[in-house]
Amino acid sequence: MSPDTRRTFLLDGREIPFREGQTVFDAAMAAGVYIPHLCHNPDFEPHSSCRLCTVIVNGRPFASCTQPAVAGQDVKSDTAELNEMRRSLTQMLLVEGNHYCPSCEKSGGCRLQATAYALGLQDNHFPQFFPLRDVDASHPDIILDRDRCILCGLCVRISRTVDRKNVFAMTGRGIDTTIVVDSPTGLLADSRVSREDEAVQHCPVGALMMKGEAFTVPIGERPYDRAPINEDSVAQFQAREARLHG
């Protein structure tokens, strides 16, 4: 059998089948193996910026959400070293923003929080930054709380490619990077955003939220109250695979 027709690769020693064009991430999740991730949402184009999904492919690190699966490659993901790196990245995201879980409406449905749980994070290790960031509550339906933004870029990507409105963009560099809104005043109220936009539905944290709906689902009954994110993500991914390719 030639390597081209085998169509499998090794992930932590386990053989994972894949389809032509699938990424390492997609193939792993379809096979029921969770790879921690934050900036990636399988329904939209990958971005490979958070680096949580980094795996070692044939000895070199790659973001699995953009790395094409290749027959016969040797991939490591669930290793002590990679998980320690994932913990450090998550801790850095937590100290760089203002993440007050006890008073956050997104608690229990937040992918940053749930990922921290899955990684067993019990402290932030690094000094807290307590940055000063603007909250934009100008829009009647939508709130943009930059304190909670992890700069995953999902709203930017979705607004550009799905809604085709380009409402959101990132500006600044490094630690000064922030989300900006395309409107004459820079405020959401004066932009073309609307509550039906896909861009405002998929924020992994509580940075973009609908007003008046924060407690529609009570705390204790939220997605990651019911199942840890590793189980929930795999189940959702497999349901999506069955829907699209089943």
Partner 1 sequence: MASKRKIATCSLAGCFGCHMSLLDIDERILELLELVEFDRSPINDIKVIRGMVDIGLIEGGVCNAESVHVLQHFREHCRVLVSVGECAVTGGIPSMRNHHSLKACLEESYIRGIGVENAHVPDDPELPLLLDKVYPLHEVVRVDYHVPGCPPSADALWYVLSALIAGRDPRLPTALLRFD
Q: Which residues bind partner 1 (CB under 8 A)?
A: 94, 98-104, 107-108, 113, 116-118, 120-125, 127-128, 130, 132, 219, 228
Residue 104 or 167 with smaller CB distance to partner 1: 104
Residue 128 or 161 with smaller CB distance to partner 1: 128
- What are the Cα distances from residue 124, in Å, to 1, 21, 87, 97, 98? 49, 37, 9, 12, 12
Residue 86 or 157 with smaller CB distance to partner 1: 86
CB of 124 to partner 1, least distance (A): 6
Token pair 């909250």 in the structure block, residue: 135
CA dihedral (185, 188, 136, 211) in degrees, to 10, reads 160
Tokens standing for residue 48: 């490979």
Asked if residue 79 lies in contact with residue 91, where contact means CB atoms within 8 angstroms, the answer is: no
CB of 89 to partner 1, least distance (A): 17
Residue 22 or 98 with smaller CB distance to partner 1: 98
CB of 75 to partner 1, least distance (A): 24
Closest CA relative to residue 132, chosen from 146, 142, 143 = 146
Q: Coil, helix or strand for 96? A: helix
Token pair 């994972």 in the structure block, residue: 16
CB of 117 to partner 1, least distance (A): 5
Residue 6 or 125 with smaller CB distance to partner 1: 125
Residue 48 or 90 with smaller CB distance to partner 1: 90
Residue 124 or 238 with smaller CB distance to partner 1: 124
- Residue 143 and residue 213: Cα distance in Å, rounded? 11
> What is the radius of gyration, based on Cα positions, of the chain?
19
Sign of the alpha-carbon torsion through 153, 158, 160, 161: positive
CB of 153 to partner 1, least distance (A): 24
CB of 143 to partner 1, least distance (A): 17
Closest CA relative to residue 67, chosen from 16, 117, 114, 118 = 16
| 23 DSSP 8-state letter | B
CB of 160 to partner 1, least distance (A): 31
